[in-house]
Amino acid sequence: MKLHLVAALAAAVSVVAPSRAATCESLSSLSLPDTSITLAQSVGAGQLTLPGRNVAEVPSAPVALKDLPAFCRVAATLKPTSDSDIKIEVWLPASGWNGNFEAVGNGGWAGVISYGAMAEALHDGYVTASTDTGHVGGRGTFALDHPEKLTDFGYRAVHEMTLKAKAIAEAFYRSAPRLSYWNGCSTGGRQGLKEAQRFPADYDGIVAGAAANPRTRLSSWQIWLSQGVLPPENYIPASKYPVIHKAVLDACDAADGLKDGLIADPTRCNFDPKTIECKSGDAPTCLTAGQVAAAQRMYTAPKNSRTGEPVYFNVEPGSELGWAMLARGPEPFSAATDQFRYVVFKDPKWDWHSFNLDNDVALADKIDNDTINASDPNLKAFLAHGGKLLLYHGWADPGVPPLASVNYYKTTVDTMGGEAKMADSIRLFMVPGMGHCGGGEGPNTFDMMTAMVDWREHGKTPERIVASHITAGKVDRTRPLCAYPQVAKYKGSGSVDQAENFVCEVSR
């Protein structure tokens, strides 16, 4: 009788036992190092309104995330140091988990969780996670007198989030994620590189777009640029950006073999703004001598005046319509001044006019000491376990110079044994006509995560990734993005708006 009862109970349990080990709500009592779980809540399918993503420097308005599948929402605060205050969220599909983890990156100085990107990953069936990088708000002010918080922003918040998200997934499903992916752009690109370099076991595949990197050099360039383009005698009103852009296209669009409004490789475009200098005075259709100088500075990489050593890169011809991002004024891009005010000089009153390229870059590098910068080209440990690195960057990026990604790609590939040896480990896709992580006139809608999954899980090395250009919700052009150094070349017949009429080939 007793035995029968036990057997019956066991049978009942085995029938009603959920397929996963824990309920969502029970995760609130999960014990993890340095972690307080502040929310563990089942969320039904539908809409959820949450703070927006902090893409550049200002947190955006709340976003309504639509058509979310049902999921378990976990929020936690991590304190790896006594001064740390790292907020993370981990979202776990209630059903249909694809078995993998996709973490999403941040923008600018972060200070906000990337809910929109989390929603996309959740849609695709992933467990996903994001962190606010250890402080609230999109400015660098938090760093003043908080070196541990700066380290959290630099790399620790992402690493800690990664460990905890994997542990939470394992507790929820009784099964750890099989593969882990990173997907980020801008600061998120830099975060991805940092993970590959510093915590090579965290991820199996890393998608790193337009990495804002090395950050000390990026900020130095942005301030140096401002010193040349913001003085009133040089200032270019936004109404003239299209004038310069048209002149650039007139000079360089057709030179790549196809007049399509895009410059396939802007580094081969030698446009001199002096060609549109006003004959005398000023007019809406030409540039004054000061404006010519400002435009030339946009296209010029800064160099140390004593050593001649290049400090960083420049925006490329074709980026003109986005120049307001750095050249609008009256102040430089605040992400850059914040770095010098709150990290380098630790003086909120520091005046950007006093920035000295020759001295202050070296000081910024020294103070950073590999905290935010992610320059290490040694990816041996990451690649040793099959890690794949997929880089991309818009050629018309007006905020982070595209050659920063080309440079990291080349340096890393050279360090790791050359292009042939690295062809199945590191790939770079440059995107003609795309702005900073999106936007611009070129085909700018593509799916790097699917390319990554095909690569990492199905052995299909990405050679060409089809990008779409969408106007008013309709695709009006498709074009292949090609693995660097290849570019898309028109076959010579068929619509120039259809990807199948292009081949990827090296043009130099």
Interface with Ca ion (CB under 5 A), residue from 260, 316, 338, 360: 260
Size of the site for Ca ion (CB under 5 A): 5
Bridge-based pairing state of the strands 71-78 and 35-43: antiparallel
d(CA 310, CA 303): 4
Minimum distance from residue 256 beta carbon to Ca ion (Å) = 4
Nearer to Ca ion, 258 or 466 (CB): 258
Minimum distance from residue 257 beta carbon to Ca ion (Å) = 7
Catalytic residue among 130, 186, 226, 319: 186
Bridge-based pairing state of the strands 388-394 and 426-431: parallel
Dihedral angle sign, alpha carbons of residues 191, 197, 202, 204: positive
Interface with Ca ion (CB under 5 A), residue from 89, 102, 195, 256: 256
Nearer to Ca ion, 72 or 262 (CB): 262
Nearer to Ca ion, 260 or 338 (CB): 260
Binders of Ca ion in range 30-49 (CB under 5 A): none
Minimum distance from residue 433 beta carbon to Ca ion (Å) = 9
Per the CB < 8 A criterion, the answer to whether 130 and 118 are in contact is yes
Per the CB < 8 A criterion, the answer to whether 131 and 86 are in contact is yes
Q: How many residues does the chain have?
A: 508
d(CA 471, CA 72): 35
Minimum distance from residue 490 beta carbon to Ca ion (Å) = 9
Q: Which stretch binds Ca ion (CB under 5 A): 124-132, 171-179, 255-263, 452-460?
A: 255-263
Catalytic residue among 152, 202, 360, 397: 397
Nearer to Ca ion, 77 or 507 (CB): 507
Does 102 bind Ca ion (CB under 5 A)? Our answer is: no
Please indicate whether residue 186 is annotated as part of the active site: yes
- Angle formed at CA 506 by CA 460 and CA 271, multiple of 5 degrees: 130
- Per-residue x/- mask for Ca ion, residues 235 to 254, rule CB under 5 A? ------------------x-
473-479 — which CB contacts under 8 Å span 24+ positions?
477/443, 478/443, 479/432, 479/442, 479/443
Q: What is the DSSP letter of 117?
A: H
Binders of Ca ion in range 261-290 (CB under 5 A): 262
Minimum distance from residue 254 beta carbon to Ca ion (Å) = 6
Please indicate whether residue 436 is annotated as part of the active site: yes
Nearer to Ca ion, 121 or 487 (CB): 487
Q: What is the largest CA-CA distance in the chain?
A: 107
Per the CB < 8 A criterion, the answer to whether 209 and 448 are in contact is yes
Nearer to Ca ion, 57 or 260 (CB): 260
- Type and span of the H or E element at 295: helix 289-298
Q: List, as one string, the DSSP characters of 5-24.
A: HHHHHHHHHHHH--SSSS-T
Minimum distance from residue 249 beta carbon to Ca ion (Å) = 8
Minimum distance from residue 495 beta carbon to Ca ion (Å) = 15
C-alpha distances in Å from residue 391, one per residue of 195, 316, 396, 452, 481: 14, 18, 16, 10, 12
Q: How far is CA 296 from the centre of its chain?
A: 27
Nearer to Ca ion, 350 or 490 (CB): 490
Please indicate whether residue 397 is annotated as part of the active site: yes
Which are the catalytic amino acids? Answer: 186, 397, 436
The residues of the shown chain that bind Ca ion, judged by CB under 5 A, are 253, 256, 258, 260, 262
